[in-house]
Structure 1
Amino acid sequence: MGSLAGDEFAPRTTYLNTASAGLGPARAASAIQRAVQGWPIGDFSAYDLALTAARASFARIAGVPVERVAAGSSVSVYAGLIAAGLPAGSEVLVAEGDFSSLVNPFAVRADLKLRTVPLENVADEIGAGTALVAVSSVQSADGRIADLDAIRTAAAACGTRVLIDATQSAGWLPLRAGDFDYVVCAAFKWLLSPRGVCFLAIGESTAAELPPAFAGWLAGEDPWLSCYGPVADLAASARRFDHSPAYLSYIGAAESLALIEETGIETIRAHNVALADRFAAGLASLGYEPVETGGSAIVSVPGLGGAAEELERAGIQASARAGNLRASFHLYNSAQDVHRILDALPAHRP
């Protein structure tokens, strides 16, 4: 099984670490280089075009109208914005061990009731008193996939808002952002974008609940008429929740997201999961027991996190997370990469 990437990528190692950061396609790097060359001479013509293209591309990937997508820089900022909109005393339900950027903005509000439960129990623990459930669609530490259908159904029955962090899934797992109140996604992993690109897809009925606390001039309906003093006319679309974009990053993102669209999410998913399954089977033959994920592109082995440094010395990049050895597979990986990491791991000795 070869890669899907063609000539877009040229890793110098066996790169199995997309769950930490995705590799940038050559076309994205070239676009950023052109923009950097234009910077000293005052050519900023690509900036707004790239932001518009990246937003539209993410909207198509997420399956929502572009008018419902805000563009920013980080998950924690958007989670913090949602946290700021909750009344004092609200209960927020999160999964044990979920990523801090999603959880901490709610934890630091002392007047919220943060309740933590195992991932597999999230849907069952949603009750009439739960104002918001916030969960990653795929867990960073070990690649487990949340049962989003069950969470959505339970939340709807209780009138609970749902925030999904799709950072570890968008780009390889189909996304139906319209099923949820909020979907936030940092694009520097599976969407292959530079750091500093993050999107928020917001439900039509929930937009009015959010305070546009970070709205600057660019969040105005006409930004050039919103430069001074209070913004009199905020954008009617989710653009009112934009915060000032890192334009060079968005120039790269526009190209990276286009590549994801051209390749196709279902094609990428089939490729990634086949490689992950092959790796999991090889681990079992060596005596290891990877975390059961239910068809994830991420494979984690409990207690083997210490092997990451040895693998790096062998030219294989994986990562250590929560004591696990975590390997993640994307469109630039191939079956040969699976063989390399398996050959580098010793047989397990209980």
Structure 2
Amino acid sequence: MNFQDLFPVLNEYTYFNTAYSGILYQPLIEWRQQHDQEYLAGGSNFRLESGTIIENLRLRLAEIFQAKNVLLTPNFSFGFNTLLNGLEKNHRFLLLQEDYPSVAYPIKSSGFEFNEVKIDENLEENILIAIDAFKPTIFAFSMVQYISGYKFSENFIKKIKQTYPEILLIADGTQFCGTKAFNFDNSGLDALLSSGYKWLLSGFGNGFCLLSDQLVGKLYQDKSANGLPTAPFLQGKSHLAMSFEPGHIDTLNFGSLDYSLNFLQSVGFENIEKSNQLLCDKARTEFYNRGLLPEWMINRESQSTIISLPLKTEMVEKVEKANILCSARGAGTRFSFHFYNTVDDLQKLLDVVDGKY
């Protein structure tokens, strides 16, 4: 498939910046235009008839991620803050140093007790030691670290849950969802929250939250004794839905997520995972051979689609001049690879690094 015909930005740039923002594609734009044309022509009639968009999205999310409890949120941060607001304040959080600010900040600013673990080649061991010493009730983390690209092994997550079943595992999946197939109910996670604008290619203003039964039973317990609204248009909504999904849900933004999930299903999440893995494995080997990655990083069994390189300022400028889009994150320059990237794209970057471009 020639992805340049679908993703016009690929005609102008070598796009290694999905970790910053996913790109839009022509069929989605056409769907969005049709959506607004129908809204323009139908007004309130369109809104009355468009509820199937939202229900289709819930069903598709449940199917793709194998999850029973699905809630819609405009982005990860909104969903995560809503989740925290529904917890009792006596929880103790284990966090990772330099994790995404939207994970750490609301926990710290809300006054929860917390402890942080350093991210290095011994991270898994560090986490288990911290659990035994600090005895957290919740471990909150990003599935993929936005700076380094460090990705948690799914087997390690299951190991934590099997060893410490009472600990709630809450994950930010924004840099993870859309990169591979994933079964939430068998993952050991109690919550997976994600925005849709990165690897899911859905534009801004949409996201979702998947919850385990264990966590659902602990959220917003203080509201369970209060009556729900009796207005006809709110009938059937639970206390949980009233908290996570207040007000009207935008059919344009969430319809875009539904459309993109359908598109990614047509490409195949297994195919996406295989394509991403092959290209990222090759990239890591090439970068390691040039002294840009430590050995422990390339030897990890579980690898993400994000690679951070310690490039000097002059090299970053050369990359930018070559119309290669990437991001400065932490002390490095972050490159992120998705299924529309090719070996030719990687070779162009390597030529720039080698001074051949």
Give your verdict on TM over 0.5: yes
Equivalent residue number for residue 296 of structure 1: 304
Q: Does 1:175 align with 2:171?
A: no
Contact 1:13 1:315 in 2 (8 A): yes
Q: How far apart in 1 are the matches of 2:26 and 2:62? A: 23
Bigger shift: 179-188 or 140-149?
140-149
Where structure 2 has 5 or more consecutive residues not aligned to the other structure, the ranges are: none
Equivalent residue number for residue 18 of structure 2: 18
Equivalent residue number for residue 249 of structure 1: 253
1:83-94 to structure 2, matched below 5 A, reads 83-94=84-95
Equivalent residue number for residue 132 of structure 1: 138
Q: Quick one: which amino acid aligns to residue 14 of structure 2? A: T
Q: Does 1:327 align with 2:335?
A: yes
Q: How far apart in 2 are the matches of 1:257 and 1:213? A: 35
Q: Quick one: which amino acid aligns to residue 126 of structure 1? A: I
Q: Normalising by structure 2, what TM-score?
A: 0.83
Q: Quick one: which amino acid aligns to residue 194 of structure 1? A: G
Bigger shift: 23-32 or 187-196?
23-32
Equivalent residue number for residue 272 of structure 2: 268
Equivalent residue number for residue 147 of structure 2: 141
Deviations for 1:179-224, whole angstroms, at most 9, x for unmatched residues? 321111111111111111110001123213212999xxxxx79974
1:162-241 to structure 2, matched below 5 A, reads 162-178=169-185, 179-211=188-220, 224-226=232-234, 234-235=237-238, 241=244
Note the C-alpha offset of 1:247.
2.5
Equivalent residue number for residue 9 of structure 1: 7
Q: Does 1:281 align with 2:289?
A: no
Pick aligned residue for 2:159 from 153, 157, 160: 153
Percent identity reads 23
Q: How far apart in 1 are the matches of 2:49 and 2:316? A: 40
Counterparts in 2 of 1:304 and 1:164: CA distance versus 1, 3 Å: farther
Equivalent residue number for residue 60 of structure 2: 57
Q: Quick one: which amino acid aligns to residue 219 of structure 2? A: L
Q: Quick one: which amino acid aligns to residue 10 of structure 1? A: P
Note the C-alpha offset of 1:57.
2.0
Note the C-alpha offset of 1:4.
7.4
Q: Does 1:342 align with 2:347?
A: no
Note the C-alpha offset of 1:238.
5.6
Note the C-alpha offset of 1:160.
0.6
Equivalent residue number for residue 70 of structure 2: 69
Where structure 1 has 5 or more consecutive residues not aligned to the other structure, the ranges are: 215-219, 227-231
Counterparts in 2 of 1:138 and 1:242: CA distance versus 1, 3 Å: same
Counterparts in 2 of 1:64 and 1:316: CA distance versus 1, 3 Å: same
Note the C-alpha offset of 1:64.
1.4
Deviations for 1:262-316, whole angstroms, at most 9, x for unmatched residues? 2222211110121112222222343322654643211111355774454233211
Q: How far apart in 1 are the matches of 2:222 and 2:101? A: 21
Counterparts in 2 of 1:285 and 1:156: CA distance versus 1, 3 Å: closer
SS of the aligned residue for 2:94 comes to strand
Q: Quick one: which amino acid aligns to residue 218 of structure 2? A: E
Equivalent residue number for residue 217 of structure 1: none
Q: Quick one: which amino acid aligns to residue 186 of structure 1? A: S
Q: Quick one: which amino acid aligns to residue 145 of structure 1? A: K
Q: Normalising by structure 1, what TM-score?
A: 0.85
Counterparts in 2 of 1:63 and 1:304: CA distance versus 1, 3 Å: farther
Equivalent residue number for residue 316 of structure 1: 324
Note the C-alpha offset of 1:237.
7.9
Contact 2:54 2:255 in 1 (8 A): yes
**CA-based RMSD:** 2.8
Contact 1:73 1:198 in 2 (8 A): yes
Contact 1:300 1:324 in 2 (8 A): yes
Q: Quick one: which amino acid aligns to residue 296 of structure 1? A: S
Q: How far apart in 1 are the matches of 2:340 and 2:49? A: 27
Note the C-alpha offset of 1:321.
0.8
Deviations for 1:17-39, whole angstroms, at most 9, x for unmatched residues? 11111112322111111122233
Quick check: which one's helix share is greater? 2
